Structure 1
Amino acid sequence: MNASPHEGAPGGGRYGEAVFRPEQAGEGERIDFGALAYDDITMARLRALGVGPGWRCLDVGAGTGTVSRRLLDEARVESVLAVDRDVRFLGERPVAGLDLLEADVTAPDFAPGRFRLVHARFVLMHLPEHERVVARLAELVAPGGVLVLSDAVDLTGDRAPATPYTLAMRAMWQGLRDTIGTDVSWVPSYPQLLRGAGLVPVAAEIHVPPLVPGSPLSRFWADTWERSRAAMRGTGLVDDAGVDAAIRYLDSDACASLSAGMLTAWGWRPGESA
């Protein structure tokens, strides 16, 4: 999960430093829990879009590289350039056709070439300059190629029943916004942003995986709260006891809540593919 330095974060922090530090024990495992929850739906969408042999792919914010490797192993694409600000997890399992690039996608000189598939998941929600980055990523799509973006959609609004889970999630979103600028409120505008970047046609879908005690998704959220606990406390919406209660709730039969959804939007660059 890529994130980059940005001046727009209210707290002046950044993903990977203020929270979710890659050197912190268990961070790679936390990312992998998220991958176990979302990779199948991501790969199903990419296959439905025709991603396959001959495709050159760019995977932005590649994290531990699960999508990059599955593109090579299952979709049989020609190559994948996996990009992240910190590539330590990506280099743990070298694979033929997988190239690594340690880079900041918000940097003005980020220009890795053009690709038939440009993919980014759970990246732009952490970047205050997301509109500019969407436009930049669209420029990296070759004619006949597709840009595929996925990010979280919060389903714990004011009308959601108050449970330990919903209270913790509200505190997490607010705490991350205060510290590193994370903002998921704009994610439903993806289709319009893609269209505004010159891509056509565009479409989108939302997937909401179930919260099941002991599941990878439940473990992902528990680990995420542990790593963002200080930011959550800082909101005044929850204290340590509240975070602990939410973690216990996730692992109990009392759990009756909706996880964050994953909105995936895609848009095509007009023209014939190479």
Structure 2
Amino acid sequence: MSPASASPSYLLDNRHHAAAAHHRALAELLDPWTRQRIRQRVRLGQIRRCLEVGTGGGSIVAWLADQISPWGHVVACDLRPAHIADHPRIVTVAHDLQSDAPLPELLGDRFDLVVARLLLGHLPLRRTILHRLAQLLAPGGVLLVEDWAGLREEVVIAAPDRRAGELYQRFQDAVAAAFDAAGVDRRWPRQLHAAMLDEGMVDVETAVHARYWTGGTAGARLAGAMIEQLRPRLVTAGMTEAELAELSVRLDDPRLVVHGHPLYSTAGAR
């Protein structure tokens, strides 16, 4: 669900007025975990070439640029890389991973680290793109792919009243319907490990990260941003404008506690 790409199958456009809020919430929720996973697999001070596809708000590429070798650089690849900060070690590339066009010249060399977070699960050509990313690795290079396995049932853990819990559950059902219609594959995160093995990658390992989200915190702010970004589709799925407005207020209530999506984090080496 990273707002990185905006292809027709991807619903979260970087140009939307709520995209920045979405990026900030994702960074707060996931960056500590993603950074930990990267540190577990590579020695950042020795890394000279990194690539992140579906860069979104750019928090991970900015962090990588400060961590890698002073002689290295990070390529930030996105369909609409509008939110990437200026940095002497960041090179920004606009590219649609789903197109048949060859990768830009900057992506033609081999990378020590390739990261794709909350992207491939949204793209119908996810398996082909995974193959292309694996081919971009230098010998010994690491590919890290992270995707959410969305939850459908028993999402609400606690709520101030029955109405709040029902509203949030209906919202999640409507979001799921919108993503299903766009081709999101909820099975994909659980298939990542086997897919990397099929690519001939070694030292493949998967870790799953999940936590509860409380009203007023980053998870709730993420839900609020998605209400704004997906509003027409949520209405089409059966929610009313009045219900969405009420839920937006309810998301600030710390008595609302919901189960965040499990993040499957799979890494493998070339």
Settle same-fold status: TM greater than 0.5. yes
Structure 2 residue aligned with 1:253:
254
Which one of the candidate residues 169, 174, 179 is aligned to 1:171?
A: 174
Distance in 2 of aligned mates of 1:196 and 1:34? 30
**Given the alignment of the two structures, is residue 65 of structure 1 paired with residue 68 of structure 2, yes or no?**
no
**Given the alignment of the two structures, is residue 33 of structure 1 paired with residue 25 of structure 2, yes or no?**
yes
Deviation at 1:45, TM superposition (A): 0.8
Structure 2 residue aligned with 1:125:
121
**Given the alignment of the two structures, is residue 83 of structure 1 paired with residue 77 of structure 2, yes or no?**
yes
5+ residue gaps, structure 1: 6-12, 270-274
Deviation at 1:85, TM superposition (A): 0.4
Distance in 2 of aligned mates of 1:4 and 1:267? 27
Q: Contact (CA 8 Å) 2:152, 2:176: kept in 1 or not?
A: no
5+ residue gaps, structure 2: 157-164
Distance in 2 of aligned mates of 1:182 and 1:196? 21
Deviation at 1:225, TM superposition (A): 1.9
Distance in 2 of aligned mates of 1:208 and 1:263? 9
Structure 2 residue aligned with 1:14:
9
Q: Contact (CA 8 Å) 1:115, 1:141: kept in 2 or not?
A: yes
CA 1:254–1:163 in 2, change beyond 3 Å: closer, same or farther?
farther
Distance in 2 of aligned mates of 1:219 and 1:160? 16
Q: Contact (CA 8 Å) 1:206, 1:263: kept in 2 or not?
A: yes
Q: Contact (CA 8 Å) 1:4, 1:106: kept in 2 or not?
A: no
Deviation at 1:64, TM superposition (A): 1.8
Q: Contact (CA 8 Å) 1:211, 1:250: kept in 2 or not?
A: no
Which AA in structure 2 matches 1:256?
Answer: V
Deviation at 1:121, TM superposition (A): 0.5
CA 1:139–1:254 in 2, change beyond 3 Å: closer, same or farther?
same
CA 1:257–1:35 in 2, change beyond 3 Å: closer, same or farther?
same
Deviation at 1:169, TM superposition (A): 1.2
State the TM-score, normalizing by the size of structure 2: 0.86
Structure 2 residue aligned with 1:44:
36
Which AA in structure 1 matches 2:92?
Answer: L
- Give 3-state SS (helix, strand or coil) of 1:211's partner: strand
Structure 1 residue aligned with 2:111:
115
Q: Following TM superposition, where does structure 1 have runs of at least 4 consecutive aligned residues deviating by more than 6 angstroms?
A: none
C-alpha RMSD of matched pairs (Å):
2.0
CA 1:230–1:132 in 2, change beyond 3 Å: closer, same or farther?
same
- Give 3-state SS (helix, strand or coil) of 1:2's partner: coil
Distance in 1 of aligned mates of 2:210 and 2:126? 23
Structure 2 residue aligned with 1:8:
none
Which AA in structure 2 matches 1:14?
Answer: S
State the TM-score, normalizing by the size of structure 1: 0.85
- Give 3-state SS (helix, strand or coil) of 2:213's partner: coil
Q: Aligned ranges for residues 167-206 of structure 1 at < 5 Å?
A: 167-178=170-181, 180-206=182-208
Which AA in structure 2 matches 1:59?
Answer: E
Deviation at 1:76, TM superposition (A): 4.8
Q: Contact (CA 8 Å) 1:214, 1:251: kept in 2 or not?
A: yes
Q: Which has the larger displacement, 103-112 or 244-253?
A: 244-253
Distance in 2 of aligned mates of 1:196 and 1:163? 42
